[in-house]
Homo-oligomer: A and B are copies of this chain.
Amino acid sequence: MANKYVYFFSKDFTEGKKEMKDLLGGKGANLAEMSGLKLPIPPGFTITTEVCDLYYKNNKSYPQGLEQEAAANLERLEKLMGKKLGAKDDPLLVSVRSGAAASMPGMMDTILNLGLNDQSVTGLVQKSGNSRFAYDSYRRFIQMFGDVVLEIDKNKFEEILHAQKLAKKIEKDVDLDVDDLKTIVLKYKELVKKETGAEFPQDPKDQLWKAIDAVFGSWNNARAIKYRELYKITGLKGTAVNIQSMVFGNLGETSGTGVAFSRNPSTGENKYYGEYLMNAQGEDVVAGIRTPLPVAELEKQEPGIYKQLIDIKNILEHHYADMQDMEFTIENGKLFILQTRNGKRTGFASVKVAVDMMHEGLFTKQEAIMRVKPEELEQLLHPNIDPRENYTSLAKGLPASPGAAVGKIVFTAEKAEEWAASGEKVVLLRKETSPEDIGGMDKAQGILTATGGMTSHAAVVARGMGKCCVAGCGDLVIKPGNTCEIAGKAFKEGDTITLNGTTGEVIAGALKLITPEISGNFEEFMKWVDEERPIKVRTNADTPKDSEVARKFGAEGIGLCRTEHMFFQGDRIDAVREMILADDKAGREKALAKILPMQKEDFIGIFEAMDGLPVTIRYLDPPLHEFIPHTDKELQELAKAANIPFGKLKAKAESLAEFNPMLGHRGCRLAVTFPEIAVMQTEAVLQAALTVKKKGVKVLPEIMIPLTGTEKEFIYLKDIIMRTAEDIFKRENDRVDFLVGTMIEIPRACLVADKIAETAQFFSFGTNDLTQMTFGYSRDDAGTFLPEYVKKGILPVDPFQVLDREGVGQLIDMGIQRGRKTRPDLKVGICGEHGGEPSSVEFCYHVGMNYVSCSPYRVPIARLAAAQAKIKKERK
């Protein structure tokens, strides 16, 4: 069928299935799938994402035939339901909802109760026997339609509602009676006329098409675009539109609505988990206006319905072989499922669900591994409050997203972004969050809201981000003037608080946070991961402490130990500056002799922490001016402290300044011009190695030359290193095995890798610099144009975050192939930041690297990414 744009779903006739997500959107595909499973789904039809694509391509007009096709489907729906859209006796009412292939909760528009007008509302009164319900539905419909379709400021509707409550001296919406609601409807319609110059549309077909327009239009609203940017959602055709017959949870005390997860989305515990409200609509649960009940309560209240829900949950979990997030409505004692989707969950839950479902026989170990996104593991490594801290919590909210956060209070998303940009750690406090707050939530350490439940916007988004969140904290009162009260205690912007997202506690001041251990499910999961993992994972660490952390996280060695960080510490910087300021080699050697014992001690600590594992030590890399202050004031202080004439110091600082330091006198160029630095570093590495060897430590040093661009550069330095080594071994009458290899981070090095590999015993790709030079982008400066490039689609993604396979990757592939041409057993790894980014790790595996190296906290992520890469390849 060439031009099929609409797919019907119902118990008896369903055209879609879950595999058609791209075309029907996630919601549409799952409604079709559930209909096919004969579950109680209100019937309806889906207009495809392809229509959205064509709509934008053809200047916001619909493809030919769509109107007729939609009309035919509406007719089929009317026939099935025995009702007519907007008919005055027993009207068919529908919801119109968006739904793309990727979930974008709250980002696009929804309209409920469509089909109501001045006539059909009376039909609804008759049929439901509940005129308050009918007029409330009509009131809601006008408000929603007015906001979403007619683009009338929603506050204006709120004002009318509020005024009516004031006039009647009542506080809650539910206390409005039928007459109030009729008055409000009238006033709403007047507002619409005033704002749009036209009557509120009474023709249901007209209502329907306007709503469809609005939903397609919402695909490209600012919020949705921002969301896709943030979550790197690309390649979608657009949103589908689902038109579904309405069911009502607010018809009375035997009606209700709820949201439930088939397992606990915070912990992963296999226990039905969710919330419901009787006599309520879906929005009431999500919006957090009334506090919902735990779904377990339903067992007492409506045992039949509860059992039915449990059965459906089991069917869906088995069918989808994944944890489900379902919306349901009970209409006059009858259960309807409105939606199911794979449930968002915390990293903890993700691992537990995968491990449990594997044990339950739902899928294999390999599939379990594929079920956890590498990034999700980040949460398992997230800080928590040090259990040794004794504290009293100030208030308690819902434990909406685990982990802990310490930061300064801010009250707006903008402020959160602003303060975070200037390096502050902040906690975002909101009455409730809305989709506009996403940017600030992303930058905050944690989120605290006054209202809303476990499935409120704040909770869902925070869990997705792996960010600590305490939601629905009733003791939080946001006040004007950037202040608030928490349990009666006054706080203002900038005050520090601590959140415990695992318990829901809010604590005044800053508590100490610690990192959790790998144990239980996580440990088991990582064991499976390691069984599949095809390459090694090392870490980038410069201190014994980092080395220990990384080892605990499964690092199999150090792939990058930066020696320059050591140069900055304590009073070493004085000796380093003395070296830089020396007039000749003798002066430099004198200063280096002071650094030697300190650097040796560093290496001893690291070698001991890495007993039995290889440690790759990169020789001094940054340009020397990085060690000298830059302002006159600092220089004057230094001159005084170091007893050097200011003029001399200033002149030296100026002579060291560079136009493009990235491409300047750094890396191995330092060691070529000042070989005594390489001699000192070799002394430090090998003396340390001999020292720990005597203590019984198994030491495997790998000396790494940075920034090699020509084979002769490498030969020159390796020669110096080997000669120094032989001197040491003779002097100490003992020896250790060690390797000498190089960073590959200069494009030219990839091109002549065959020659470099003749002498170099290993390669480690420094993809930060390689990306800078291959693209000609300075990472420090690219902020002025890179975001624009990504926004305009010129680059799919920031190449400093995700490795550019097409360009940089081509050079890496070339470098490896050529290197192994002359040295077939060449050991190859990566130590740029890409080494901990899942898609880049996958690439590293594809091009045949032996290992990736990343920061300690990304080691488990890299381990998982590597295992998944292998499984994905096998599945192809």
Q: Give the B-binding residues of A (Cβ under 8 A).
A: 658-665, 667, 669, 672-673, 707, 709-710, 712-713, 716, 745-748, 751-752, 769, 772-778, 780-782, 784-785, 788-789, 792-795, 804, 806-808, 810-811
Given A673-B785, A747-B811, A788-B672: A663 and B776 interface contact (C-beta under 8 Å)? yes
The 24 sampled A-B contact pairs (Cβ below 8 Å) are A658-B780, A659-B778, A659-B780, A659-B781, A660-B662, A660-B778, A660-B780, A661-B778, A663-B781, A664-B781, A665-B781, A665-B785, A672-B792, A712-B793, A746-B775, A747-B747, A747-B807, A747-B811, A748-B808, A751-B806, A751-B810, A752-B807, A773-B773, A773-B776
B663 touches A772 (CB 8 A): yes
B661 touches A794 (CB 8 A): no
13 other contacts beyond A716-B794, A745-B776, with CB at 8 A cut-off? A660-B663, A660-B778, A663-B781, A664-B778, A665-B785, A672-B788, A709-B775, A713-B789, A747-B774, A747-B776, A748-B804, A752-B806, A769-B776
**Which of chain B's residues have a CB closer than 8 A to the CB of A810?**
751
Per the bound structure, the CA–CA distance linking A222 and B785 in Å amounts to 51
A778 touches B658 (CB 8 A): yes
A673 touches B776 (CB 8 A): no
Per the bound structure, the CA–CA distance linking A751 and B774 in Å amounts to 9
Give the shortest distance, in Å, between A99 (CB) and chain B (any CB): 30
Per the bound structure, the CA–CA distance linking A667 and B785 in Å amounts to 11
**Which of chain B's residues have a CB closer than 8 A to the CB of A811?**
747, 751
A785 touches B712 (CB 8 A): no
Give the shortest distance, in Å, between A812 (CB) and chain B (any CB): 11
A661 touches B664 (CB 8 A): no
B794 touches A673 (CB 8 A): no
B784 touches A665 (CB 8 A): yes
**Which of chain B's residues have a CB closer than 8 A to the CB of A752?**
806-807
**Which of chain B's residues have a CB closer than 8 A to the CB of A777?**
663
Per the bound structure, the CA–CA distance linking A131 and B794 in Å amounts to 91
**Which of chain B's residues have a CB closer than 8 A to the CB of A669?**
785, 789
Give the shortest distance, in Å, between A95 (CB) and chain B (any CB): 40
**Which of chain B's residues have a CB closer than 8 A to the CB of A713?**
789, 794
A748 touches B660 (CB 8 A): no
Per the bound structure, the CA–CA distance linking A752 and B663 in Å amounts to 23
Per the bound structure, the CA–CA distance linking A784 and B785 in Å amounts to 31
B772 touches A748 (CB 8 A): no
Given A781-B658, A781-B665: A775 and B788 interface contact (C-beta under 8 Å)? no
Per the bound structure, the CA–CA distance linking A774 and B777 in Å amounts to 13
B709 touches A776 (CB 8 A): yes
A773 touches B785 (CB 8 A): no
**Which of chain B's residues have a CB closer than 8 A to the CB of A673?**
784-785, 788
**Which of chain B's residues have a CB closer than 8 A to the CB of A661?**
659-660, 778, 781
Per the bound structure, the CA–CA distance linking A792 and B713 in Å amounts to 9
Give the shortest distance, in Å, between A132 (CB) and chain B (any CB): 53
Across the A-B interface, the 8 shortest Cβ-Cβ residue pairs: A663-B778, A660-B778, A748-B807, A664-B781, A659-B780, A665-B784, A747-B747, A746-B776
Partner of A748, one of B659, B776, B781: B776
A707 touches B776 (CB 8 A): yes
A712 touches B794 (CB 8 A): yes
A656's nearest neighbour on chain B, judged by CB, is B784
**Which of chain B's residues have a CB closer than 8 A to the CB of A665?**
781, 784-785
Give the shortest distance, in Å, between A706 (CB) and chain B (any CB): 11
Counting chain B CB atoms within 10 Å of each CB, which of A713, A774, A808 scores highest?
A: A774
**Which of chain B's residues have a CB closer than 8 A to the CB of A789?**
669, 672, 713
Per the bound structure, the CA–CA distance linking A664 and B777 in Å amounts to 6
**Which of chain B's residues have a CB closer than 8 A to the CB of A663?**
660, 662-663, 772-773, 776-778, 781
Per the bound structure, the CA–CA distance linking A179 and B527 in Å amounts to 102
B794 touches A774 (CB 8 A): no
**Which of chain B's residues have a CB closer than 8 A to the CB of A780?**
658-660
Per the bound structure, the CA–CA distance linking A773 and B746 in Å amounts to 8
A773 touches B747 (CB 8 A): yes
**Which of chain B's residues have a CB closer than 8 A to the CB of A794?**
672, 710, 712-713, 716
**Which of chain B's residues have a CB closer than 8 A to the CB of A707?**
776
Per the bound structure, the CA–CA distance linking A333 and B389 in Å amounts to 112
Per the bound structure, the CA–CA distance linking A808 and B750 in Å amounts to 11
A716 touches B792 (CB 8 A): yes
Per the bound structure, the CA–CA distance linking A788 and B808 in Å amounts to 30
A716's nearest neighbour on chain B, judged by CB, is B794
Give the shortest distance, in Å, between A758 (CB) and chain B (any CB): 14
A746's nearest neighbour on chain B, judged by CB, is B776
Per the bound structure, the CA–CA distance linking A789 and B663 in Å amounts to 15
Per the bound structure, the CA–CA distance linking A437 and B181 in Å amounts to 79
**Which of chain B's residues have a CB closer than 8 A to the CB of A806?**
751-752
**Which of chain B's residues have a CB closer than 8 A to the CB of A662?**
659-660, 663, 776, 778
**Which of chain B's residues have a CB closer than 8 A to the CB of A807?**
709-710, 747-748, 751-752
Per the bound structure, the CA–CA distance linking A776 and B658 in Å amounts to 14
B795 touches A710 (CB 8 A): yes
Partner of A660, one of B746, B781, B788, B792: B781
Per the bound structure, the CA–CA distance linking A663 and B768 in Å amounts to 14
Per the bound structure, the CA–CA distance linking A807 and B815 in Å amounts to 12
A655's nearest neighbour on chain B, judged by CB, is B784
Given A747-B774, A793-B712: A784 and B672 interface contact (C-beta under 8 Å)? no
Give the shortest distance, in Å, between A626 (CB) and chain B (any CB): 11
A659's nearest neighbour on chain B, judged by CB, is B780
Per the bound structure, the CA–CA distance linking A773 and B752 in Å amounts to 15
Per the bound structure, the CA–CA distance linking A752 and B775 in Å amounts to 11
Give the shortest distance, in Å, between A802 (CB) and chain B (any CB): 14
**Which of chain B's residues have a CB closer than 8 A to the CB of A776?**
662-663, 667, 707, 709, 745-748, 769, 773
Given A712-B794, A794-B716, A795-B710: A748 and B769 interface contact (C-beta under 8 Å)? no
